[in-house]
């Protein structure tokens, strides 16, 4: 098992290229099941979750080809993957595959829409909360699917194809919106999704589906309207930049000090987080092809945040922002409204000297003058990278164990940070 070793206290200077968004790449890859023609996706990050999903799609019979690197291209540049689902051999997604990644449950939508049936294992528990699939199944039932739970599997069927309907989500759900979109594009008639997720990754999926021949209006708003078509074609689509990776490195610069340009990303993907970061005393400047983040020797101002669906502050940046607030001047309050158990990083940050107390869904952070390196344990993907951020600013050495979580969501993390002057390396133990 790997661990990461960090010697902290070094400001970051240089350029960090931002990878394609994992949270966009996964539903885009799943959308390949909607057509027998080839879907070519570029700017796909090299991540463990991408590799896992390729295995899951392969189990259904989807052929894939990873296009080789161009001359002079580094491994940090996104890869291009061609997916062809012309010969789907199985509409069952077994537990041993689905259990490795919750997003793989979404294959239920394109399988049902295109083939009229799907048998997909329920994904089970999750370290950061229950994250139920009831709203996803409700969306499919609204479009005419019959669903039963049998032996831990959701078995969905439709005799004469899905039919358009009005899907009203009682709360915003990104997964539910992805599933509803992929089901509705091949349904008979018109589907309206009310209280739809507005996340950029939803807009990216809608853009790709439109290139494939879908008729979608309103993506990025709370109301999406889809006019079903009889078939979809292949397409070429570039995965949008990863806004969570962008925000993570921006907070790392705010934490350590320095001056870094984040390349191949867009400020409009995370306005709320960048606006809040600017109030901490960090200089954030949008550029034509990226964002410049600077912090001089002045201290970090304490700021309160509440996580909310897009365009609010992302829950996937909550842990990273908490790490930043551990060094702020004064007290900050961080309210988590999306996942009920997403404060597991608190005890590990405390091992580095952070002062944090929990009051229900609020973490109260008292800024300290310094953090000190220590051995810590990663509990989930975002918690892992919050410990990296804290370790970069801590005095002495920090060892982060169970870093396989990081490989699920951050491409070439150590290499990108080393290029900017960080002393960080991976060790095998």
Say if residue 338 carries a ligand binding annotation. yes
Q: Is 133 annotated as a binding residue?
A: yes
Reply yes or no: is the peptide bond before residue 311 cis, omega within 30 of 0: yes
| Residue 123 is assigned to a ligand binding site | no
Q: What is the 3 state secondary structure string of the chain?
A: CEEEEEECCCCEEEEEECCECHHHHHHHHHHHHHCCCEEEEEEECCCHHHHHHHHHHHHHCCEEEEECCCCCCCCCCCEEEEEECCCCCCCEECHHHHCCCHHHHHHHHHHHHHHCEEEEECCCCCCCCCCCCHHHHHHHHHCCCEEEEECCEEEEECCCCCECCEEECCCCCHHHHHHHHHHHCCCECEEEEECCCCCHHHHHHHHHHHHCCCEEECECECEEEEECCCCCCCEEEECCECHHHHHHHHHHHHHHCEEEEEECCCHHHHHHHHHHHHHCCCEEEEECCEEEEEECCCCEECCCEEECCCCCECHHHHHHHHHHHCCEECEEEEECCCCCCCCCCHHHHHHCCCEEEEECCEEEEECCCCCECCEEECCCHHHHHHHHHHHHHCECEEEEECCHHHHCCCCCHHHHHHCCCCEEEEEEC
Binding site annotation covers 242?
A: no
Q: Is 316 annotated as a binding residue?
A: yes
Contact present, 420 and 260 (Cβ < 8 Å): yes
| 162 is annotated as contributing to ligand binding | no
Q: Catalytic: which of 126, 149, 287, 358?
A: 126
Report CA-CA distances (Å) from 312 to 92, 151, 272, 283. Answer: 36, 38, 6, 20
135 is in an annotated binding site: yes
Q: Determine whether the annotation assigns residue 2 to a binding site.
A: no
- Assess whether 126 carries a catalytic annotation: yes
| Binding-site residues from annotation for UDP-N-acetyl-alpha-D-glucosamine | 102, 131-135, 316, 338
User: Which residues are designated catalytic?
Assistant: 126
| Binding-site residues from annotation for phosphoenolpyruvate | 22-23
């Amino acid at each position: 098992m790997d661990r990461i070793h960090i010697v902290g206290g070094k400001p970051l200077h240089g350029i960090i290229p931002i990878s394609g968004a994992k949270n966009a790449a996964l539903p885009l890859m799943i959308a390949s099941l909607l057509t027998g023609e080839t879907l070519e996706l570029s700017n796909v990050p090299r991540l463990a979750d991408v590799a896992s999903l390729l295995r899951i799609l392969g189990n259904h019979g989807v052929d894939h080809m990873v296009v080789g690197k161009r001359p002079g291209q580094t491994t940090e540049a996104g890869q291009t993957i061609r997916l062809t689902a012309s010969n789907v051999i199985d509409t069952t997604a077994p537990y041993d595959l689905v259990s490795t990644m919750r997003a793989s449950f979404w294959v239920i939508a394109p399988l049902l829409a295109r083939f009229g049936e799907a048998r997909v294992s329920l994904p089970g528990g999750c370290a950061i909360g229950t994250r139920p699939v009831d709203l996803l199944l409700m969306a499919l039932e609204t479009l005419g699917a019959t669903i039963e739970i049998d032996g831990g599997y959701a078995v969905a069927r439709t005799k004469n194809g899905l039919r358009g309907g009005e899907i009203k989500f009682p709360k915003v759900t990104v997964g539910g919106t992805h599933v509803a979109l992929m089901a509705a594009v091949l349904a008979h008639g018109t589907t309206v999704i009310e209280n739809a997720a507005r996340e950029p990754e939803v807009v990216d999926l809608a853009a790709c589906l439109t290139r494939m021949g879908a008729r979608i209006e309103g993506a990025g708003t709370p109301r999406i309207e889809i006019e079903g078509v009889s078939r979809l074609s292949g397409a070429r689509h570039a995965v949008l930049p990863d806004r969570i990776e962008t925000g993570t490195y921006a907070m790392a610069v705010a934490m350590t000090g320095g001056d870094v340009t984040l390349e191949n990303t867009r400020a409009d993907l995370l306005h709320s987080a960048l606006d809040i970061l600017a109030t901490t005393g960090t200089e954030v400047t949008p550029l034509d092809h990226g964002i410049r983040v600077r912090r001089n020797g002045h201290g970090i101002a304490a700021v309160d945040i509440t996580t909310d669906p897009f365009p609010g502050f992302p829950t996937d940046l909550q842990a990273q922002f908490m790490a930043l607030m551990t060094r702020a001047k004064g007290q900050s309050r961080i309210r988590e409204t999306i996942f009920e158990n997403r404060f597991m990083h608190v005890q590990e940050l405390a091992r580095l000297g952070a002062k944090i107390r929990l009051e229900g869904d609020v973490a109260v952070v008292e800024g300290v003058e310094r953090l000190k390196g220590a051995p810590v344990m990663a509990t989930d993907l975002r918690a892992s990278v919050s410990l990296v951020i804290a370790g970069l600013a801590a005095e002495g050495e920090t060892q982060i164990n169970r870093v396989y979580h990081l490989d699920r969501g951050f491409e070439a993390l150590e290499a990108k940070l080393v290029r900017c002057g960080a002393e960080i390396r991976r060790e095998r133990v």
